[in-house]
Chain A
C-alpha cells in the first residue's frame, strides 16, 4: 500500500503569515497533484507536478516536487482567510489508474 503522509495535520494561523505543507512518501510517483477541499464539496485541483525538482507557482502558492519524486511541498505566502480549507496531495504511480491521496492538512486562516 502506498502511503502519502502530510504534515502538519492541522494549522491555524493569522492572516498575512506564511506556511508550508509537506507531503512525504517512500514510494516514487510519476506525478503528484495538490487539491483544496472546502466542507461539503469535492476537492478542486490546484496543480499537477510531474518532473523531479519541478517548481510551479499559482499566485501566492508555490508547489515543489522533490528531486526523487517521493515528496512535495506547498508554500503559501501571506495567507488569507479564503485559503482556509483541507489541502490534499495525491500521487499517481506509472501504470496505475488510481490516485493515492495523502492524509490531508486542515488550514485555518483567521482575519
Chain B
C-alpha cells in the first residue's frame, strides 16, 4: 500500500514564529500533493495544490505569503506557516497522488499545530 507520512505529528509554537510541516510519500512518487486544514469537528478544507517543480495553486481566501508551500521533489512537499498566530492553530493534513494515477489520493496522518 501507499504510505504518506507527516512530520512533526504535533507542534506547539509561540506566536510570531514560523513552523514547517513535511509531507512525504514513502513508497511512491507523487507529482501532486494537497494540503488541507481541519478545524475541530469539521470537515477538511483544501488550502492548496502543490505540483512538483512549480508554484502551488492556492484556494480562494488562503494567503500564499502566510502558507508557503514547496514541492521540490517527487516525494516531499513542505508547508511553512509563517508568523504564526493563535488562529492558525489547526490540524493540517496532506495527501499525495501517485504519479500517473489521477483517482486516488493517499492521506497523511496529520499535524496538529498549536500556536500560543
Contact = CB atoms under 8 A, between A and B. Distances in A.
Interface residues on A, range: 20 to 34
B41 A99 contact: no
Interface stretch (B12-20, B66-74, B76-84, B102-110): B102-110
Interface residues on B, range: 20 to 34
A48 interface: yes
Contact of A98 (B41, B46, B93, B106): B46
A48 B44 contact: no
Contact of B107 (A44, A48, A97, A98): A44
B103 A48 contact: yes
Interface centre among A42, A100, A102, A103 (most CB of B within 10 A): A42
Contact of B110 (A40, A92, A97): A40
B103 A40 contact: no
Contact of A88 (B4, B34, B44): B44
A98 B108 CA distance: 16
A101 interface: yes
Dominant SS among interface residues on chain A: strand
Interface in A30-48: 31, 35, 40-45, 48
B93 A42 contact: yes
A91 interface: no
B44 A43 contact: yes
A106 interface: yes
Nearest to A102: B43
B50 to A, nearest CB: 11
Contacts of B104: 45, 48
A104 B105 contact: no
B42 interface: yes
19 contacts: A35-B107, A40-B110, A41-B109, A41-B110, A42-B4, A42-B109, A43-B107, A45-B106, A48-B103, A92-B103, A97-B102, A98-B46, A99-B34, A99-B46, A99-B95, A101-B43, A101-B45, A102-B43, A104-B42
Interface of A: 31, 35, 40-45, 48, 88, 92, 97-104, 106
Given A40-B110, A98-B34, 11 more contacts: A31-B103, A42-B93, A42-B110, A43-B44, A43-B93, A44-B107, A88-B43, A92-B103, A97-B97, A99-B34, A99-B95
